[in-house]
Each structure stands twice: as structure tokens, then as C-alpha cells.
Amino acid sequence: MLGDYGSAIVYYDGVICQINKYTKQLDDPCMKGRWHACTRSLQDELEMVKEIEKEIQLIKESSPMKATHEASSHLTPSSGQFSPLPPQCEQHQTPPTLITHTPRGIERRASEPVVGDAHRGDLRGEDVQAMDPDVWQPPPPQRAIPSRTKPKASTVVPVNSSNSGLPMGRLRRANSTGHKGVQPKVDTRRGRDGRRDTPGQEYEGPDEDLVALLKRDILDTSPGVTWGEIAGLHEAKRVLEEATVLPLIMPDFFKGIRRPVRGVLMFGPPGTGKTLLAKAVATEAHVSFFNVSSATLASKYRGESERMVRCLFDMARAYAPSIIFIDEIDSLCTSRGATGEHEASRRVKSELLMQIDGCFGHNVEPGQHVMVLAATNFPWDIDEALRRRLEKRIYIPLPELGARRDLMHISFKDVDVAEDVDWDELARQMEGYSGDDITNVCRDAAFNGMRRRTAGMSLEQIRNMQADAVHTPVLMDDLVEALARISSSVSKADIAKHESWKGEFGSV
Ligand SMILES: Nc1ncnc2c1ncn2[C@@H]1O[C@H](COP(=O)(O)OP(=O)(O)OP(=O)(O)O)[C@@H](O)[C@H]1O
């Protein structure tokens, strides 16, 4: 994050918040102390980063007149039209943008569909007058979700793009609905079963940088996890399949009262496979998968988070059918009105709720919807309105006996295991372990053979060893030893809390 201190602060805040939450569940005072020390050193670093950011702000703010002049020279409020392109726009052939003040200084308001003279009238006078030049304002709420098969009369303007390796000279549309997003190119490649083989649309949003960022960090067109790689959780898989995969395969059945659910919440202790399930859903349903963590969406700058949420849903609609997976949703959507709630956080929640509602408007074609899949380890912290929209709330528990045994087999699928391993006995001993804990035990045991072979050897001797000399089968003793070293990371109190919440709010 060198140089991008604003984002760095968000990441620091997010990590510190997660560590604090995690530390609260720990019983072992020694581990607690170590995590506290870690948090303290992160906080020290954070203070330093904040200082640097403050300095940068001061430097930026020291020439406000120049900025105001620059902004006003590209916008003529009385006419509600743009003045000629600023030189840098002409040079790079990018669409003209409004330039407004943001808490970070000057920033493009890159949200209007204005491309060429034909669209200058799209920016109405009242839009311009409503703009306070000193405050960044999000663009007005989206008016319509564009239909991809029957585009309204629109002007198509070829543009050159400089971002994210997208093809040059793509078609951009600014349609008559005033929708600010740009129509995606539709890829009609479909498999024999009617499902699309690869999500093949290209999307150019109004804010190229943000779209590039979301594409790079968040869009995952082939998560590559299959149901077979997930041990146990049969009920969760069934519910997810019914809620997410079937509506895409049989869109005509899932209409009216049978419409697909707007969102699904997976809750449960950490490391039980929620993220894996989300990825498997995306793979099995052949949809575009937007994998977002709340830390990415949580920006302390007014308007930025909303802008990101809006852009994310815009993109998801362009790549529809798609799934937006929001991990750790509790840190983004704590109860509204809670003490200490920040105005910016309230606004981002409202935007998220609005966007989720927009996913199933009357103008969304069957089978082309966007679904929100969320995960949390703290379901009791989630805002009520959001809870209502996440219509299916599935408990993802610790693995049962059979699942623990299957998970060990999955973990060792590429490793030789000795005949003496007693899977049933190990599975019994791992009661209370999460899937992640079990994977850790297996990983640790898989290293034991190498440890035995290399004990007492110098680095030079190890370097000269044949590579396959360290490949020894995993023994029962290795697993027993690893099990003695690694304890369960989930407390009984945490399980009890989840089960009680499931009793009250669970919905399958
Ligand atoms: N049911 C499972 N089947 C196979 N692997 C599992 C399962 N549950 C957990 N794992 C292992 O644990 C790791 C972590 O799982 P995952 O990230 O999906 O958990 P999570 O519930 O999303 O955790 P968190 O709540 O902390 O984000 C996986 O990479 C996988 O190795």
C-alpha cells in the first residue's frame, strides 16, 4: 500500500478489528497476550501511516484556490453542460468527467454517461446546481437496470480504453434511461445444458479505475472449488443448490412466488468452510463470482464506500448471472442506530440494502439475476433490515464424525499415507475441531516425515539430499503427534451462541 495511505488505513482498521474480535473468543491468556502485543504494534504502525496521510492532506489543501478554479473551468452550472474537455482528457481520449472536491482533494466525478456532444444534455441543470463543490456527492440513485437483450434506443460510441487490458474500441452506450453504467457486451456462448460455459461479458463502468480494481481484486470467473472438495455439510449444500444453482438452470420455474431468494447468509464458527461453499456455488452454477471482503468495501471517506458498492452491483449485473460473496458481512453491516455508528457506515448500509432490492426488479430477466451470498462468524451483530433480505440463513456447523474423516482423506489426496492410519479413531479424537483445524493437523503431520529425515542435518546436507528422499508416507504417529500439538480453535461458548441464534433466526 506504499503511497496509497487512505486504503492502507482502511486495511489496518479492518485487520485490527478482526484481531480484536478473534482475541475476545480466546481462553488462553498467553495467546491473548501475544495477540494484544500484535494489535499494539499494528496500532503504532497505523498511527504512523495516519501521520503521513495527514501531511499529504495538508499539502493538498494548501492550494485550494487552484483546485476550485480547475473544477469550475470544466463545469458551467448555468447551462448544465460541460465546457470543452480538459487537456488531459483530450490527450488520453477518456470521457469528460466532473471534477469535484473530495476529502482526499480533487477527484473526478466519473459517473455520468457523457460521451461526446450528443450526451451533454444528459446532465440536467438541477443536478449541477445540487452539487456542493466542497463535498463529494455520490451520483443520483440508479434509475433503471438495463435490459441486456433489448437495449433501449441508444447512441453507440467507440472509445479507446487504457485500463485492465480490455480490448480497444469497444462499444459504449449511453442509453435513454439515463442509466450511468455502460452496457456490457453480451457473450452468448453456452454449454449443452444451456448454461454459459464462461462468464464472457466485458464491462466498462463509468469509473474505469474502480472497475479495474474490482476486476483485479474481486472478480473471480472460475473459483474452481467443487462440491466434492467439501467434506460433509450436506444440508448446507442442498439448500445452497436449491437457492442459487437451480434458479439459474430452470429460470422459468423460479418466477412469481417462486422467485429466487435475494440473498443467503452462511453463519457459523470460523474455519468451517463458508468461503469454500461460496466458491463451490459459483463453480457449480457457472456464474461470475465477486469475492469481496468487508474491509475492501469499508472506506472511511464519505461517499467512497457507496460508490464502490454501487459499482460492484453494476458490474455484477453486467456479468449476470453472478454471485456477490461478502465475507465478514458483520463488520460492514452492524445494526443501524447502534451507539457509535458512523454516518458514513449508515449510508453504505443503506446503499447495500437498496442495491440488494434492485437485484430482483421487474426488469431483470429470469436467470440473469445477481445474488448476494454473505458469511459471518457474528450473525447477532447484523443489521435487522439486512437480515430480512438475506432470506436463507444457513448454519455451517463444525464437521461431524463422517465429515472429519472425509476431510482428512481430502487433505491427503496427493500424499502417501501408511496403512496403519486409523481414520475412525482420529476422527473421534478431533471432536470439536473446525475444518480448518483438521486441515492444519493434516498439514502438520505431513511435514513430520521430512522433520524425521532431516533431524540433525545441516542446511548444506539437506540441500544435497535427493528431492524424493523426504517423501515418506504419513504415519499414524505423525497424526497423533500433530493432534497433540494443535488444539481446537472454537470454544464451546461460541457454538452455543450460534446454535441459539440459529434457533431464533435460522431459515433453511
Ligand atoms: N467442510 C470442509 N471441507 C473441506 N475443507 C474445509 C472444510 N471446512 C474447512 N475446510 C478447510 O478450512 C479452510 C478454511 O475454510 P473457509 O475459509 O471456507 O472457512 P470459513 O468458514 O469461511 O472461515 P472464516 O469464517 O474464518 O472466514 C479451507 O481452506 C479448507 O482447507
Q: Model confidence over 245-289: pLDDT tens digits?
A: 788 778 888 877 888 888 899 999 999 999 999 888 888 877 888
Residue pair 172/159 in contact by the 8 Å Cβ criterion: yes
Pocket test for ligand 1, best of 276, 373, 443, 498 (most atoms within 8 A of CB): 276
The alpha carbon of 434 and the centre of ligand 1 are apart by a number of angstroms equal to 8
The alpha carbon of 267 and the centre of ligand 1 are apart by a number of angstroms equal to 12
> pLDDT-derived band of residue 370, with 50, 70 and 90 as boundaries?
confident
219-232 CB burial, b ≥16 within 10 A, e <16: beeebebebeebbb
CA-closest residue to ligand 1 atom 26: 270
Examine the fold and report which residue of 395, 425, 442 is the final residue of a domain before the chain moves on. Answer: 395
- Note the pLDDT of residue 80: 37
Residues 90, 21 within the same domain: no
What are 292-312's pLDDT values in tens digits?
877 777 765 556 778 888 888
The alpha carbon of 73 and the centre of ligand 1 are apart by a number of angstroms equal to 54
C-beta of 276 in contact with ligand 1 (< 6 A)? yes
> pLDDT-derived band of residue 464, with 50, 70 and 90 as boundaries?
confident
Q: What is the layout of strands, in order, in the sheet containing 322-327?
A: 219-220, 288-293, 322-327, 370-376, 263-267, 392-395
Q: How many angstroms separate the CA atoms of 353 and 302, rounded?
A: 18
What is the maximum alpha-carbon separation in the chain?
84
Examine the fold and report which residue of 378, 395, 412 is the final residue of a domain before the chain moves on. Answer: 395
Cell 460541460, located at residue:
82
Name the domain count of the chain: 4
- Note the pLDDT of residue 204: 56
Residues 183, 85 within the same domain: no
C-beta of 377 in contact with ligand 1 (< 6 A)? yes
Is 274 labelled a binding residue?
yes
Is 185 labelled a binding residue?
no
> pLDDT-derived band of residue 484, with 50, 70 and 90 as boundaries?
very high
The alpha carbon of 230 and the centre of ligand 1 are apart by a number of angstroms equal to 9
Q: C-alpha grid cell for residue 282?
A: 459459483
Q: C-alpha grid cell for residue 224?
A: 474452481
* Shortest-distance atom of ligand 1 to CA 278: 18
> In terms of Cα–Cα distance, which of 482, 265, 269, 207 is closest to 388?
265
- Note the pLDDT of residue 436: 94
Residue 507 resides in a domain:
no
Q: C-alpha grid cell for residue 492?
A: 464451546
Is 180 labelled a binding residue?
no
Residues 277, 131 within the same domain: no
Residue 148 resides in a domain:
no
Residues 238, 285 within the same domain: yes
Q: How many angstroms separate the CA atoms of 39 and 12, rounded?
A: 10
Tell me the backbone φ, ψ of residue 81, rounded to 5 degrees: -125, 165
C-beta of 7 in contact with ligand 1 (< 6 A)? no
The alpha carbon of 277 and the centre of ligand 1 are apart by a number of angstroms equal to 8
> pLDDT-derived band of residue 496, with 50, 70 and 90 as boundaries?
very high
Residues 227, 341 within the same domain: yes
Residues 126, 164 within the same domain: no
CA-closest residue to ligand 1 atom 1: 231
Higher pLDDT, 100 or 301: 301
The alpha carbon of 276 and the centre of ligand 1 are apart by a number of angstroms equal to 6
C-beta of 441 in contact with ligand 1 (< 6 A)? no
Residue 495 resides in a domain:
no
C-beta of 18 in contact with ligand 1 (< 6 A)? no
Residue 60 pLDDT > 50 = yes
Residue 385 resides in a domain:
yes
Mean predicted confidence (pLDDT) in 193-212: 53
CA-closest residue to ligand 1 atom 11: 436
C-beta of 275 in contact with ligand 1 (< 6 A)? yes
The alpha carbon of 219 and the centre of ligand 1 are apart by a number of angstroms equal to 20
> pLDDT-derived band of residue 338, with 50, 70 and 90 as boundaries?
low
Burial of 160 (0-12, 13-18, 19+ CB in 10 A): exposed
CA-to-CA separations, 487 to 109, 136, 440, in angstroms, rounded = 52, 50, 10
C-beta of 279 in contact with ligand 1 (< 6 A)? no
The alpha carbon of 418 and the centre of ligand 1 are apart by a number of angstroms equal to 26
Is 269 labelled a binding residue?
yes
The alpha carbon of 271 and the centre of ligand 1 are apart by a number of angstroms equal to 4
Is 273 labelled a binding residue?
yes
Residue 371 resides in a domain:
yes
Residues 203, 287 within the same domain: yes
Residues 6+ apart with CB under 8 A from 57: 104, 105
Higher pLDDT, 69 or 469: 469
CA-closest residue to ligand 1 atom 23: 271
* Shortest-distance atom of ligand 1 to CA 376: 25
Residue 300 resides in a domain:
yes
Cell 450511468, located at residue:
180
Mean predicted confidence (pLDDT) in 221-227: 77
Pocket test for ligand 1, best of 275, 283, 377, 400 (most atoms within 8 A of CB): 275
Other CB atoms within 10 Å distance of the CB of residue 101: 18
Residues 6+ apart with CB under 8 A from 37: none
Residues 104, 223 within the same domain: no
- Note the pLDDT of residue 363: 65
- Note the pLDDT of residue 255: 78
Residues 313, 451 within the same domain: no
**DSSP-derived 3-state class of residue 175:** strand
Q: How many angstroms separate the CA atoms of 278 and 256, rounded?
A: 26
The alpha carbon of 243 and the centre of ligand 1 are apart by a number of angstroms equal to 21
- Note the pLDDT of residue 194: 38
Is 303 labelled a binding residue?
no
Q: How many angstroms separate the CA atoms of 409 and 388, rounded?
A: 38
Residues 358, 301 within the same domain: yes
Other CB atoms within 10 Å distance of the CB of residue 406: 19
- Note the pLDDT of residue 281: 86
Q: Name which of 55-59, 204-208, 369-373, 416-420 the model is least confident about.
A: 204-208
The long-range contacts involving 496-504, CB below 8 angstroms and separated by at least 24 positions, are: 497/380, 498/267, 498/268, 498/269, 498/379, 498/395, 498/397, 499/395, 501/267, 501/379, 501/380, 502/267, 502/393, 502/395
Is 270 labelled a binding residue?
yes
DSSP 337-403: T-TT--HHHHHHHHHHHHHHHHTT-TTSPTT--EEEEEEES-GGGB-HHHHHHS-EEEE-----HHH
Is 472 labelled a binding residue?
no
Q: How many angstroms separate the CA atoms of 112 and 81, rounded?
A: 12
Q: Name which of 163-167, 188-192, 338-342 the model is least confident about.
A: 163-167
Residues 391, 406 within the same domain: no
What are 61-81's pLDDT values in tens digits?
776 554 444 444 443 333 333
Tell me the backbone φ, ψ of residue 419, rounded to 5 degrees: -65, -25
> In terms of Cα–Cα distance, which of 290, 294, 274, 271 is closest to 282?
290
CA-closest residue to ligand 1 atom 30: 436
The alpha carbon of 446 and the centre of ligand 1 are apart by a number of angstroms equal to 19
* Shortest-distance atom of ligand 1 to CA 436: 12
E strand or H helix at 480:
helix 476-485
- Note the pLDDT of residue 341: 58
The alpha carbon of 205 and the centre of ligand 1 are apart by a number of angstroms equal to 33
CATH number at residue 448: 1.10.8.60
CA 460 to chain centroid, in Å, comes to 44
Tell me the average pLDDT of the chain: 70
The answer to whether the Cα torsion of 85, 88, 92, 97 is positive or negative is: negative
> pLDDT-derived band of residue 218, with 50, 70 and 90 as boundaries?
low
State if pTM tops 0.80. Answer: no
For a pLDDT cut of 70, what percent of the chain falls above it? 63
Cell 412466488, located at residue:
257
C-beta of 274 in contact with ligand 1 (< 6 A)? yes
Higher pLDDT, 203 or 254: 254
C-beta of 231 in contact with ligand 1 (< 6 A)? yes
Residue 339 resides in a domain:
yes
Q: How many angstroms separate the CA atoms of 367 and 159, rounded?
A: 30
Residue 332 resides in a domain:
yes
CATH number at residue 57: 1.20.58.80
Q: Tell me which residue range forms the domain holding 39.
A: 5-62
Residue pair 70/78 in contact by the 8 Å Cβ criterion: no
Residues 420, 335 within the same domain: no
C-beta of 243 in contact with ligand 1 (< 6 A)? no
Examine the fold and report which residue of 90, 105, 137 is the final residue of a domain before the chain moves on. Answer: 137
Mean predicted confidence (pLDDT) in 29-47: 87
